[in-house]
Chain A
Amino acid sequence: DAGVIQSPRHEVTEMGQEVTLRCKPISGHNSLFWYRQTMMRGLELLIYFNNNVPIDDSGMPEDRFSAKMPNASFSTLKIQPSEPRDSAVYFCASRPGQLNTEAFFGQGTRLTVV
């Protein structure tokens, strides 16, 4: 398996524009997570899905953020409209359904909003 695949690797956009980040989890993994890495908060959980169903989105900072998982092999994180303070590295991770297993991370998307 190629691991968790995120696209794009880098995104530079202007304030007010819509941004969509994409993730393909590892096949067979039941859970998918979106994290944001910042200097202040480290790895901050935004939202996670179990079996394509959103379980906890309490980490989503504002209504400008939304996430979907239409099927087991694809998820998106959308920011609309984007703001400079959204600039960060966004990670997607997936995890098998078994207990006591690790999560596998993608390489991240570095978002810069100017």
Chain B
Amino acid sequence: DQQVKQNSPSLSVQEGRISILNCDYTNSMFDYFLWYKKYPAEGPTFLISISSIKDKNEDGRFTVFLNKSAKHLSLHIVPSQPGDSAVYFCAATFYNAGNMLTFGGGTRLMVKP
């Protein structure tokens, strides 16, 4: 049973446009959410996070939105750049999860010049 799902395995966007990556979760206990970016032959690196007490968190070109009622979060990248081309993973955890992070399956973003 996948508690965190990324239903789009890939996404292609033109440089300069907005990239929107989506993530759904089923466990209503999750209260902290993270996005990671992964380049080939490298480990995932942390990008941005959001606590369940917020519905939006922004860091430069990256914004994460959380809709708790829909159990849905999204990552917006504006404007998209070719260097953003990578696999993006969303992850979730909650207070009593013992520090464990549950990851989605990932979405491969391709930003075309």
Which residues of chain A have a CB within 8 Å of any CB of chain B? 4, 30-31, 33, 35, 41-45, 48, 50, 55-56, 91, 93, 95, 97, 99-100, 102-108
Q: Beta-carbon contacts of B40-67 to A below 8 Å, as 1s and 0s?
A: 0111111001010000000000000000
A42 pairs with B51, CB closer than 8 A: no
A103 touches B104 (CB 8 A): no
Are the CB atoms of B32 and A100 closer together than 8 Å? yes
| B103, A108: Cβ atoms closer than 8 Å | no
Contact check, A43 vs B98: say whether CB atoms are below 8 A apart.
Answer: no
B residues apposed to A, CB below 8 Å: 6, 32, 34, 36, 41-46, 49, 51, 89, 91, 95, 98-106
Contact (A91, B101) CB under 8 Å given A99-B32, A100-B49: no
Report, nearest first, the 6 A-B pairs whose CB atoms are least far apart: A42-B105, A105-B43, A43-B103, A102-B46, A31-B99, A42-B106
- A55 in contact with B44 (CB, 8 Å): no
User: Known: A100-B49, A102-B46, A108-B43. Contact between A55 and B98, CB under 8 A?
Assistant: yes
B43 adjacent to A45 (CB under 8 Å): no
Give the distance to chain B from A61, nearest Cβ to Cβ, in Å. Answer: 16
**Which A residue sits closest to B101, measured CB to CB?**
A103
CA distance A43 to B101 in the complex (A): 10
Contact A55 B105 (CB under 8 A): no
Q: Which of A43, A48, A95, A105 has the most CB of B within 10 A?
A: A43
Q: Are B44 and A105 in contact (CB under 8 A)?
A: yes
A48 & B51 in contact (Cβ 8 Å cutoff): no
Whether A30 pairs with B99 at a CB distance below 8 angstroms is: yes
Given A42-B89, A43-B89, A102-B34, is A56 in contact with B49 using a C-beta cutoff of 8 Å?
Answer: no
Q: Please list 16 pairs of residues, one from A and one from B, whose beta carbons are closer than 8 Å in the complex, sorted by A's number.
A: A33-B101, A35-B103, A42-B89, A42-B104, A45-B102, A91-B43, A93-B43, A95-B101, A97-B99, A99-B95, A100-B32, A100-B49, A100-B51, A103-B46, A105-B36, A108-B43
Which residues in A have their C-beta under 8 angstroms from that of B32?
99-100
Q: Note all chain A residues with C-beta closer than 8 A to B106.
A: 42-43
